[in-house]
């Protein structure tokens, strides 16, 4: 994801996209380690920015009304879909993450337009225009 959009996600959802090392709350002896997210950031295209933004808006709202705080561990594309690995989601929030993952396989990862899973060297989600661009 472009540094500008990633910075916007980090600024809008600082509790989800924390760069702080995370320890084990049940075991203070376990040293805190930086999350993969802190190290690698959002590893997907800009086309999923709105999807991730909408997901985080809902996750954070759920926290506001009593759900746990979700903390992103790793956010990336895999097999054409969004993977949003995190700590803390309850079943309700896990459902939101699942829907976002499913929707990502219908939205072009490059531009966000309607897309489809395209089996190429790697499976990617692309709109017709970017599917064509990948093959040129």
Examine residue 111 and tell whether it contacts Zn ion (CB under 5 A): yes
Q: Which of 63, 108, 118, 125 binds Zn ion (CB under 5 A)?
A: 108
- Rg of the chain, C-alpha, whole Å: 16
DSSP state of 24: B
CB of 127 to Zn ion, least distance (A): 3
CB neighbourhood size of 95 (10 A): 11
Helix (H, G, I), strand (E, B) or coil at 16: coil
Helix ranges (H only) for 74-127 are: 91-104
Examine residue 130 and tell whether it contacts Zn ion (CB under 5 A): yes
Q: Which of 16, 44, 110, 118 binds Zn ion (CB under 5 A)?
A: 110
Examine residue 127 and tell whether it contacts Zn ion (CB under 5 A): yes
Examine residue 131 and tell whether it contacts Zn ion (CB under 5 A): no
DSSP state of 70: P
Examine residue 9 and tell whether it contacts Zn ion (CB under 5 A): no
Helix ranges (H only) for the chain are: 3-12, 36-40, 49-64, 91-104, 128-134
CB of 69 to Zn ion, least distance (A): 33
Nearer to Zn ion, 42 or 96 (CB): 42
**Which residues would be at the binding site for Zn ion (CB under 5 A)?**
108, 110-111, 113, 127, 130
């Amino acid at each position: 994801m472009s540094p500008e959009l990633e910075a916007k996600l980090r600024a809008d959802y600082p509790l989800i996209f924390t760069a702080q090392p995370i320890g084990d709350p049940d075991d203070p002896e376990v040293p805190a380690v930086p999350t993969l997210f802190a190290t690698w950031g959002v590893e997907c295209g800009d086309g999923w920015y709105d999807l991730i933004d909408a997901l985080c808006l809902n996750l954070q709202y759920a926290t506001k009304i009593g759900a746990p705080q979700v903390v992103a561990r790793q956010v990336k594309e895999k097999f054409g879909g969004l993977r949003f690995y995190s700590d803390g989601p309850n079943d309700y929030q896990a459902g939101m993450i699942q829907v976002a993952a499913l929707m990502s396989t219908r939205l072009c990862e490059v531009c966000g337009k309607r897309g489809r899973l395209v089996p190429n060297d790697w499976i990617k989600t692309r709109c017709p225009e970017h599917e064509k661009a990948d093959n040129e």
